[in-house]
Amino acid sequence: MLSPLESPLGKQLRNYACVRITRMDNVDIGLFEYDRNNTLYFFLMNADEQIYMRYGGRDGRSPDSYLNLDSLALAAAKGLELHRQYLGGALAKTARPKPISPLDYPMLVERTIKAHACVECHLIGDYQNLHREKDGTLDKLVHLFRSPDIRSLGIELDVPKGLVVKEVSGPAQSAGMRAGDRIATWEGDTVWTFADLQHRYDKVPRTAKTVRVTVERDGAMKELTAALPVLWWRTDTRYRQSSIEPRSYFEDRVLTAEEKAKLGLRADGFASFVKYVSSMAQSVGAHDLKVGDIIVSVDGKDRDENADTASLYIVLHKTPGDLATMEVLRDGKRISMPLKTIRMSFRK
């Protein structure tokens, strides 16, 4: 059995200056920008602060859906190759992003740094969003729904092999992607790892209709354009609950076309079936929803271009603390129900 030091990754890491950071107090979060709800995140870089690649990324299934020691060893080997190219002048230097300090966010300073509490990664993202909300720059589609899921494009990676495609279906298959292809660029930028890809995908404007991808197949590069599915940016946010506000303490699902037709609801509306109600809903006085209710509208709105459920409409259009009125179908009757959206206590 190989000891870690004698493993492929161990052998690669001997050629690096390795550093592990567990507090974000003094981190340049402008240079090291990433989705703060990752459990682990790596940067392979040099002393000029040129980042060769990232390693990490996740989805709603698990924190380590895309983490694997084999693919990390591959990344580490590629990082060494890129470093040799950089030292030899074969790799162009890129502009350093503007530095940003956690100290630039007064509420973060007040509530964590001054309180000597751990400045956890996700707190950086949470307080950045709180400040964005206050100064009017919060773009919920971008800042709340981070790290789009490539599976909505029909791409399943062979995770130990990095960006080699294992299975393909849907829009990616229609675009010409095949199992065995290695994804080489995303929207024109070179990607070496899943983290590179997910970080670049996150930068795609939410109004985009297509995404450009280059794949390496049999030694040749092939350009593809994949159609982005409706609501492609929407991700499972349950693992980042503390980053998503307002809270309304229920979960719902999209009604099928047949269910909408049967109930006489518009086909393109966001009417949704309530499938879970948290006990918190009553204790904080959020609403009186029950499992089985159907939310037809919120404040008279029953359709939205970015929402296919009432809960998503509320997240996208309400500020924590807002009051609203829902129209609800219960036992065949339409009732009007007040909704109080909630801000989590630690963010008040």
Partner 1 sequence: MKFAAAVILFSLASYAQGNHSADDIVWLDNYQTALKQSRATGKPIFLEYRCEP
| Binding residues for partner 1 (CB under 8 A) | 3-5, 9-10, 13-22, 24, 26-27, 32, 34, 38-47, 49, 52, 63-64, 67-69, 72, 76, 79-80, 83, 87, 118, 120-121
Decide whether 35 or 181 has the Cβ nearer to partner 1: 35
Q: What span, in angstroms and rounded, lies between the C-alpha atoms of 124 and 129?
A: 9
The Cα 10–Cα 222 span in angstroms is 34
Query: Which DSSP symbol is given to 237?
Result: -
Query: Least distance in Å: CB of 80 to partner 1?
Result: 7
HSE of 182 in the Cβ direction (CA atoms, 13 Å)? 14
Q: Which residues pair with 298 in a beta bridge?
A: 301, 326
Compute the least distance from the CB of residue 18 to partner 1, in Å: 5
Least CB distance from residue 49 to partner 1, whole Å? Answer: 8
Cβ proximity to partner 1, 46 vs 174, nearer residue: 46
Beta carbon nearer to partner 1, 22 or 283:
22
Nearer CB in complex with partner 1: 83/318: 83
**Of the candidates 254, 178, 247, 250, the residue with the CA atom closest to the CA atom of residue 217:** 178
From CA 210, how far away is CA 185, in angstroms rounded?
Answer: 14
How near is the Cβ of 14 to partner 1 at its closest, in Å? Answer: 5
Place of tokens 């509208």: 297
Q: How far is the CB of 343 from partner 1 (least distance, A)?
A: 25
Query: Based on CB atoms, which residue is closest to partner 1, 19 or 90?
Result: 19
Contacts 24+ apart (CB under 8 A), 106-111: 106/131, 107/131, 111/346
Calculated CA dihedral for residues 95, 101, 107, 110, nearest 10 degrees: 180
